[in-house]
A = this chain, B = another copy of it.
């Protein structure tokens, strides 16, 4: 009811960069993160890149007093890296794995192996239903020539569709995570326009932390400074977004980020900065509190832009599907030729032995290896084409539905 005392909610979000054997001073940093969370007593903690279940268990044991409820979202070989800690009981969870997530052969990037996903936890706080989402999208390794942009746009689309379809009965929607997108990138504009989610950084009354709210900053000793060269202040790619359902109002009272080194220590918590928001949630009259919808022309514009990116990706995927298919065919042809030559030699058609046996066997194994590899790649790019086509079609359908709606400005 209107006039109810506001609910004050403190939310913590961090990409923990906790990759076993690879991340520097991992266990020490996980301990530091746990200590900070215990001291500050957040209501909701959304973490990414907690790849080791052992680290999750350590955090769980440490946070047992302040955030006794938690969930670790499992997916893929390595996991999703996503987990959530809460002061209030988690009633239900659901995981949605993105259909595209980079390429298995880009071993140096490794995103493909992670089973990148969005996790949903339904939490009831003082009778208010919160749909809390935590996610981590594909990294951007080269902004000028970003080969993963179409995959990230597909992920943003799947994320917004998942939120739209699952949050219809929620009183408050919260999304935290490393979106790997700058605030003006097409994916995040698409996400915000279509879900009505608001960015805590732009909405907050009071901000304290890195300039421009950056969460990847040059003076964090774990960041690769060369990657941040075009951005002297750093970049903002970690977000807390929120939206109130019908009959509710959410305001961001305060937003903070960490600023490199942890207090009293010589290292930061992670290569990312944490984002910490204090939200006020208030129950309003029945009709109030709904986030105003974005105007149709703006929706059409951002969706068309995203669709163009997906189409560019589709063309590239088709080319790669074609060349891997051709390579597989050539390898098969070589194998067949070898088989014919071997049969010919066995049948005594050729004079003597046409090739030294060892080179012949090595060549055959090489051809077999190429055949298997190229076939695998061809299947992979076939899936990629299908998923990009599927997204393109869904976007087309959404544009059609929009254009039939009476225009609002």
| A residues apposed to B, CB below 8 Å | 71, 73-77, 79, 89-97, 99, 115, 120, 122, 161-162, 164-166, 168-169, 357-358, 361-362, 365, 379, 382-383, 386-387, 389-390, 393-394, 397-398, 401, 404
Separation in Å of the A73 CB from the closest CB of chain B?
A: 7
Inter-chain CA distance A357–B365, complex, in Å, is: 15
Do A92 and B401 touch (CB < 8 A)? yes
Inter-chain CA distance A397–B94, complex, in Å, is: 12
Within 8 Å CB of A161, what residues of B?
92, 94
Do B357 and A75 touch (CB < 8 A)? no
Within 8 Å CB of A79, what residues of B?
386
Do B99 and A75 touch (CB < 8 A)? yes
Do A165 and B120 touch (CB < 8 A)? yes
Given A77-B386, A95-B99, 16 other A-B residues pairs in contact with their CB atoms under 8 A = A74-B389, A74-B393, A75-B386, A75-B387, A76-B383, A92-B161, A92-B164, A92-B398, A92-B401, A94-B162, A94-B165, A115-B383, A120-B165, A166-B168, A169-B169, A361-B361
By beta carbon, the residue of chain B nearest A391 is B74
Inter-chain CA distance A77–B168, complex, in Å, is: 32
Subset of 6 A-B contacts with CB under 8 Å: A92-B161, A166-B166, A168-B168, A358-B361, A361-B362, A365-B365
Do A397 and B90 touch (CB < 8 A)? yes
Within 8 Å CB of A92, what residues of B?
161, 164-165, 397-398, 401
Separation in Å of the A286 CB from the closest CB of chain B?
A: 13
Do B362 and A93 touch (CB < 8 A)? no
By beta carbon, the residue of chain B nearest A122 is B165
Separation in Å of the A390 CB from the closest CB of chain B?
A: 4
Within 8 Å CB of A401, what residues of B?
89, 91-92
By beta carbon, the residue of chain B nearest A380 is B77
Do B74 and A390 touch (CB < 8 A)? yes
Within 8 Å CB of A165, what residues of B?
92, 94, 120, 122, 165-166
By beta carbon, the residue of chain B nearest A166 is B165
Separation in Å of the A154 CB from the closest CB of chain B?
A: 12
Separation in Å of the A234 CB from the closest CB of chain B?
A: 34
Inter-chain CA distance A79–B385, complex, in Å, is: 11
Do A387 and B74 touch (CB < 8 A)? yes
Do B77 and A382 touch (CB < 8 A)? yes
Inter-chain CA distance A79–B383, complex, in Å, is: 8
By beta carbon, the residue of chain B nearest A170 is B168
Within 8 Å CB of A386, what residues of B?
74-77, 79
Within 8 Å CB of A77, what residues of B?
379, 382-383, 386
By beta carbon, the residue of chain B nearest A131 is B165
Do A97 and B97 touch (CB < 8 A)? yes
Inter-chain CA distance A96–B117, complex, in Å, is: 12
Do B93 and A397 touch (CB < 8 A)? yes
Separation in Å of the A287 CB from the closest CB of chain B?
A: 17
7 A-B pairs closest in CB distance: A168-B169, A74-B390, A165-B166, A74-B386, A365-B365, A357-B358, A77-B379
By beta carbon, the residue of chain B nearest A121 is B397
Separation in Å of the A245 CB from the closest CB of chain B?
A: 10
By beta carbon, the residue of chain B nearest A360 is B358
By beta carbon, the residue of chain B nearest A401 is B91
